[in-house]
Amino acid sequence: MSAPVVGTDVPRVDGLEKVTGAAKYTADLKFPRLLHVAVVRSPHPHARVLDVRTDRAARMPGVRAVASGRDFPLHTGIYLKDQTVFATDRVRFVGDPVAAVAAETPELAAEAAAQVHVEYEPLPPIFDVEEGFAEGAPLVHPDLGSYEVVPWIRPKAGTNVCNHLKIRKGDYASALKGSWKVFENVFRVPQVQHVPMEPHVSVARVDLAGKVEVHSSAQSPFTVRHLLAHCFGLPHGDVRVHVPYVGGGFGGKAGINLEPIAVALAMRCRGRWVRLMVDRHEEFFATVVRQGLTATLVTGVDRHGKVQAQKMHYLWNCGGYGGYGVNIVRSAGYTCGGAYEFPNVEGDSIGVYTNRPVGSAYRGFGMQEIHWALEQQMDRVAVELGIDPAEFRLKNCLGAGKSTVTGQLLDEHAGRVDLCIRNVAKAIGFEPDRERTPYRGKGIACAVKAPAMPNDAASSVILKFAEDATLEILISGIDYGQGLMTVVAQFASEALDLPVEKIRVKGCPDTDLSPYDWQTVASRQTWATGNAVFRAASEIRGKLCATAAEALSVPAEELSLRGGAVVHEATGRALPFERLVMGYQFPDGHAIGGPVAAASSYLPEGLLFLDPETSQSAKPVAKWTFGAQAVSIAVDPETGQVTVEKVAACYDVGKVVNPALIKGQTYGGIVQGLGTGTMEELVLDPKTGRAVNASLMDYKIPSTEDVPAEMAVDFVETAQKDGPMGARGIGEHTMIPTPAAIANALWDACGIRISEMPITAEKVWRALKAKERAERGAKAAGEARVPAGTVA
């Protein structure tokens, strides 16, 4: 029998930060009579839950609600419903919610939560993904075969495999046998945290009629509504979700997170607002993290430096639950070839349950992880063949008339990764005959990403005029810093020739009042919402011109919009929008038209499912965004410290809509990529499964001192055929290739390879020392050939 644990280190409890001063005043105004939540979390990485006794907690002063898995044995999950609101039969990671208390103050909630008694039976934990994948491994989810799952996610009952996507193209086995040279390497990526400025927080209330209202820091208000309705068996119309301005997400606030716990407690004290917020410590392990990866790559090449056979075997460490992470597994599978044309492919992307924190979406959605492996593999092959790494990439990269690993034939609108490679190679001085300086090097890496989304993922907008002809645009995409609201205003301004000062974009969606949007993920908002804006603007244009045509007694097709007016070019007559947007009134008093408004939506066009056995498909994704980065670094041989001095980045974005915003996205992505590439890793105690660096003191993220001295960014504009003004997504792509480019530069600088992210100074120092020992040993033995490098 184990002692009850609140959080993972008593007295750490969700929501126990002090709400004081202005913050408390604001909270009291918006959420009067607010209750505070403390969550009882598992201290074990894997254990059966034998008993949960909440009676003592429920009797304590100020306690208004207590809940556990016995009260809410309900499942949730966006693609695979494998997670319960509270643990029922077992806990699957340190921090798994077991029960929760809502009380009048944070202090009372904490005291009551400490009185919840939980009896556990510890089970053998699994932290390593290869151990979890092994035949006969202890099962994290014995009931996996009974979970509800979407048709295109394929868990394997009786194992720890929560999804497996196979890629089979050409004849890999024969091509490998016929290859001139074959290379095999293994690469690893750890779990990392999103570290948003604002931690996860949700506030919920259930009114006396049973309607649920939620305010949450989330990326997906309509998905939150959908999942809450499904989880609690409610009509969608009885669930209302508000999303205010969000203080950072990076994928960690996609799908559903704290909301079910807040709603469960609110159901037990109707009419009261209930607030659940994790503190910074718990944000690291009790919400979601980026999944870990072990990637094994085998590459067969011919005598001309063309890849003929390529194998990718990805094992994804999904942690205790895979409800969202299973789609990362899928996305990584159909993108496993990166920016290259491989004629013969054997790819397996496999999600594996372990007893680590829950893996979920993270900026890049698996792409940085697989490019860490693939781009280093391409570099190693090029070096072994004696081919310049940039030229080797150009020889094998995708382009018009070439096919992806899924067999999709790219056309001239798909994007030009070759131009991106040439651009960054020139910007960084990546010439084959460049002058070499010890401990200074240059590296290059490519990137590609498609939006990982269901084929019916839609975005919609509402455009309507105020009486003074101010255009109001309602959207439900979340602007958490990427500039969506600005871009939407630009698109509307362009479509209606209306000064942007006359446009107001309304964010902070409310699912009762705002138009539907699937999620703000997948770098899809500029493209999807942008298309919806242009469609709605076309309808607005038609209404304005129809009314003006009748008012001016001219054909509507002879009218145009210019500067906030409908103009008849032939006669020079014009009507300002102010005369039309609420209807036009003639001198005799009769009126026509009426308030001008339009609603429209955009749905991806022509997408086709992947073949279940081979993943071949003529169009599995809506679009591809290609890019490349090159870096120059300096290495301190005494400490192993790597300084990234310059980064050159280039992406084919279709159309640069806003130069300042797109540069900001690129700078931010480079720095975030530098962080995950050189310093970030969530470390667990190998015995207890507890995070040992769950604080900003111990978990390092880049500071201003780590920003490269120079970041040169440029863009190629190959118009996306179905993009608004030709634009395609770019938000996530900018951090994808950075770690691999640094790793490749490390080889160029000092002849060492780091296969496991992050590239820390300690790893570099150890690899340099190992290289020195190998060179001394070779010299002492009288060997003529000194090893070219050491792999760490």
The tens digit of pLDDT for each residue in 392-449 reads 999 999 999 999 999 999 999 999 999 999 999 999 999 988 998 999 999 999 999 9
Q: C-alpha distances in angstroms, 55 versus 51, 52, 226, 292, 383?
A: 12, 9, 33, 40, 67
Q: Is it true that the peptide bond before 758 is cis, omega within 30 degrees of 0? A: yes
| Segment 516-558, tens digit of pLDDT | 999 999 999 999 999 999 999 999 999 999 999 999 999 999 9
pLDDT digits (tens, 9 = 90+) for 623-666: 999 999 999 999 999 999 999 999 999 999 999 999 999 999 99
CATH class of 15-22+457-602: alpha beta
Overall average pLDDT of the 363-368 stretch:
98
Position 782 scores a pLDDT of: 77
Stronger pLDDT, 784 or 664, i.e. the higher one: 664
Q: 561: closest CA among 433, 467, 691, 469?
A: 469
Q: How many residues does the chain have?
A: 792
**pLDDT tens, residue by residue, 698-738:** 999 999 999 999 999 999 999 999 999 999 999 999 999 99
- Residue type present at position 764: V
Distance, in Å, from the CA atom of 266 to the CA atom of 579, rounded to the nearest integer, reads: 49
In Å, how far are 438, 609, 746, 772 from 776, measured between CA atoms? 18, 56, 21, 6
What percent of the chain has a predicted confidence (pLDDT) above 90?
94
The three-state secondary structure class of 761 is helix
Per-residue H/E/C for 568-624: ECCCCEEEEHHHCCEEEECCCCCEEEEECEEEEEECCCCCCCCCCCCCCCCCCCCCC
What pLDDT score was predicted for residue 786? 43
Cα 381 from Cα 311, distance rounded (Å):
14
* Cα gap 694→690, rounded to integer Å: 9
What distance in Å separates the CA atoms of residue 779 and residue 160, rounded to the nearest whole number? Answer: 49
Residues 175-222: tens digit of each pLDDT: 999 999 999 999 999 999 999 999 999 999 999 999 999 999 999 999
Domain 31-123+209-277 top-level CATH class? alpha beta
Q: Give the type of residue at 411.
A: D
Q: Per-domain residue ranges for the chain? A: 15-22+457-602, 31-123+209-277, 289-453+608-777
With a cut of 50, say whether residue 235 has pLDDT above it.
Answer: yes
DSSP per-residue codes, 364-424: TTTHHHHHHHHHHHHHHHHHHHT--HHHHHHHHB--TT-B-TT-PBP-TTS--HHHHHHHH
Give pLDDT, residue 16: 36
* Other residues' Cβ atoms within 10 Å of the Cβ of residue 758: 21
Domains 31-123+209-277 and 289-453+608-777 share a fold: no
- Residue 309, by phi and psi: left (phi above 0), alpha (psi -120 to 50) or beta? beta
Threshold 0.75, pTM exceeds: yes
Please report the pLDDT score of residue 700 as a whole number.
97
CATH number of the structural domain 289-453+608-777: 3.30.365.10
CA 552, CA 567: separation in Å to the nearest integer? 10
- What pLDDT, in 10s, does the model give residues 474-498? 999 999 999 999 999 999 999 999 9
